[in-house]
């Protein structure tokens, strides 16, 4: 009964999915719009990252080119800052904004920024709990049906708690990303990559990108609600 209810409750996700699609389209369109606008000073994204890192006293981060569209990221484990093909050598407002954002993550890492450390812990915990979630649920359903209703419910609600960890992870991600964008805005001017008049464009790009993390949180919350309601309805049948 739970699985049928779970699939029916998938309707709860529809608003979040629509919102995520709209946000992603906005990000793509905004990036492409400002990708056509070249910076006045002509400093490319790779050099901008180098200058930001140098200003922060960071010398052990490698900047590399990676394949794909908007696949830019910073890996704190390897200390590698990857810039996508459309960003790496570009002097566009979009590219500089995205590159400075990733450099912001590298600076966060170097400074032991507390929310970033917390996100790392919660990310690891979320990975572990997501693997245990469905086994817990199956055990809970079987115990409730054939053995102990009380013990079965303990497993089921443990599954709910595990699911909640992914929501917390998405929530913690927001301040980390917003802070990286804030750092990017100030860094772009301080290293001479953008003129004051061009910062607004980079801010538009990063604000649009930030909405993807808000959308991820909305989907995580709705997914949790779906899971929670499916269990609640099933146990009352």
Q: Which residues are designated catalytic?
A: 102
Distance CA(46)–CA(41), nearest Å, equals 14
Taken as a whole, the chain contains a residue count of: 237
- As given in the structure block, the two tokens for residue 76 are 């704190």
Write out the DSSP string of the chain.
-HHHHHHHGGGGGHHHHHHHHHHHHHHHHHHHHHHTSB-SS---HHHHHHHHHHHTT--S-EEEEESSSS--EEETTTTEEEEETTTTT--BHHHHHHHHHHHHHHHHHHTT-HHHHHHHHHHHHHHHHHHHHHHHHHHHHHHHHHS-HHHHHHHHHHHHHHHHHHHHHHHHHHHHHHHHHHHHHHHHHHTTSS-GGGHHHHHHHHHHHHHHHHHHHHHHHHHHHHHHHHHHHHHT-
């Amino acid at each position: 009964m739970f699985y049928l209810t779970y699939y029916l409750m998938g309707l709860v996700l529809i608003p979040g999915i629509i919102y995520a699609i709209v946000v992603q389209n906005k990000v793509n369109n905004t990036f492409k719009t400002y990708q056509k606008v070249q910076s006045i000073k002509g400093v490319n994204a790779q050099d901008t990252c180098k200058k930001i890192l140098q200003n922060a006293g960071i010398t052990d981060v490698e900047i590399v080119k990676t394949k794909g569209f908007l696949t830019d990221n910073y890996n704190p484990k390897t200390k590698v800052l990857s810039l996508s093909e459309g960003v790496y050598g570009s002097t566009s407002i979009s590219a500089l904004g995205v590159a400075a954002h990733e450099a912001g993550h590298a600076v966060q890492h170097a400074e032991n920024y507390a929310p970033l450390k917390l996100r790392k812990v919660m990310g690891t915990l979320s990975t572990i709990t997501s693997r245990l979630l469905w086994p817990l649920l199956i055990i809970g359903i079987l115990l409730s049906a054939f053995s102990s209703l009380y013990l079965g419910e303990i497993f089921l609600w443990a599954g709910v708690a595990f699911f909640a960890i992914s929501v917390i992870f998405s929530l913690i991600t927001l301040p980390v990303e917003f802070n990286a964008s804030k750092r990017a805005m100030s860094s772009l001017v301080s290293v001479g990559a953008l003129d004051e008049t061009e910062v607004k464009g980079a801010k538009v790009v990063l604000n649009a990108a930030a909405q993807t993390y808000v959308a991820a949180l909305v989907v995580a919350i709705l997914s949790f609600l779906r899971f929670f309601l499916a269990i609640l309805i099933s146990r009352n049948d």
